[in-house]
Amino acid sequence: MEDPNPLSSSFSDNYLVSSNNSFTGLEDYSVDGENGSLGFMELLGVQDFGPSVLDMLQKPSVQLPNQNQSSTVDQESSEVLNTPATSNFSTISSESCGGGGPNDEQTKELVDEEDEEEEEEEDEEKQKTKKQLKPKKMSQKRQREPRIAFMTKSEVDHLEDGYRWRKYGQKAVKNSPFPRSYYRCTNASCSVKKRIERSLNDPTIVMTTYEGQHTHPSPMMSRANPAAALTPCLGFSTGASTATFMPSPLQMSLSSDQFHCNYSTPLNFGFMGSTNINCAASAHQKRFYTPPSAFITDYGLLQDIVPSIVRKED
């Protein structure tokens, strides 16, 4: 691990990963055409085929499994985050659904799910051998959930996404002064996790990685419209600004020739109805995104945060 590149630096410098043609490139988005005064969104997709998105992104070059062509980023075209000073918010998505195509690694993991009973027995044995060690249930092979990572320009680490999270860990990241925080959804029946860390390159950028799918409506959204709360979407809001976009219906294409992000499995990470669309989508973006009809105009807490000019009521 003597990579001369700082990890967070390589996140932004080298994270362009193309796979199964589901993603190629990035693009900036003006927010609602307000002369750029509201900043812009930057979107970038990355597909995860096993290792964590961040792990992949931290490599100077990424070799995807089962793919002959290397999908490395040109080192010289490093600055992916081309953030202007006027920007107070930007988001980069890194799609990482496991369903990016038939893949040996994923197949193995699916098979592993069948072994829970055996694992419980193993667990007992381990407890015997390790005696007084904490009775953890760690022997289970971890299942890789679909992941999606975002880079968000924000002053706050923990972006409000409509769900309630409990922090369960924090770790120092090698070569980075910023720790990585681990959160789990507070809903007992929901196993969604997310990691949050700041970019070393640009401390104003928060890298959020979601893992898994919520099995319940957003507490925030459900108060107004439970159906909409279950709609696959991704959303963030900060005290400064808000951006949300939804890969529904399982496919998002942002830019005719530069950005493509295909979701092969349903996602349900975020919250909110039309806020996201109206906030983040310029006319340009709307070409590629059609909101589900279930959406209603419920801004939730965003009503308090996002200027109405951003919400752009229809």
Partner DNA sequence: CGATTTTGACCTGCGC
Partner DNA sequence: GCGCAGGTCAAAATCG
Contacting positions for DNA (CB under 7 A): 1, 7, 51-52, 54-55, 126, 130, 133-139, 141-142, 164-174, 180-183, 186, 193, 195
Q: Where are the alpha helices (DSSP H) in the chain?
A: 7-14, 53-58, 104-112, 116-130, 219-222, 226-229, 274-280, 283-286, 302-305, 308-311
Please, which residue, 172 or 227, has the CB nearer to DNA? 172
What's the min distance (Å) between Cβ of 85 and DNA?
Answer: 30
Nearer to DNA, 27 or 119 (CB): 119
Whichever of 58 and 83 has its CB closer to DNA, that residue is 58
- Residue 128 burial class via C-beta count within 10 angstroms: exposed 0-12, middle 13-18, buried 19 and up: exposed
Closer residue to DNA, CB minimum distance, 54 or 281: 54
Q: How far is the CB of 23 from DNA (least distance, A)?
A: 20
Cβ atoms of 125 and 133 closer than 8 Å? no
The minimum distance between CB 75 and DNA, in angstroms, equals 19
Indicate the burial class of 79 (C-beta count within 10 angstroms; 0-12, 13-18, 19 or more): exposed
Among the listed residues 309, 207, 314, 218, the one whose alpha carbon sits nearest the alpha carbon of residue 272 = 218
Least distance from C-beta 286 to DNA, angstroms? 35
CB 46 within 8 Å of CB 17: yes
Shortest reach from residue 183's CB to DNA, in Å:
7
| Cα 31 to Cα 166: distance, rounded to the nearest angstrom | 31
**Shortest Cβ 281–DNA spacing (Å):** 30
Strand partners, 242: 237
**305 DSSP 8-state letter:** H
DSSP category for residue 168: E
Q: Which is nearer to DNA, 191 or 297 (CB)?
A: 191
In the bound complex, what is the minimum distance in angstroms from residue 127's beta carbon to DNA?
9
Asked whether 204 and 184 are in contact (CB, 8 A), the reply is no
Question: Least distance in Å: CB of 186 to DNA?
Answer: 5
HSE-CB at 284 with a 13 A cutoff on CA atoms is 16
Q: Compute CA distances 184 → 167, 169, 285, whole Å.
A: 6, 9, 31
Which residue's CB is nearer to DNA, number 35 or number 142?
A: 142
Q: Which is nearer to DNA, 132 or 293 (CB)?
A: 132
Nearer to DNA, 133 or 227 (CB): 133
Helix (H, G, I), strand (E, B) or coil at 75: helix
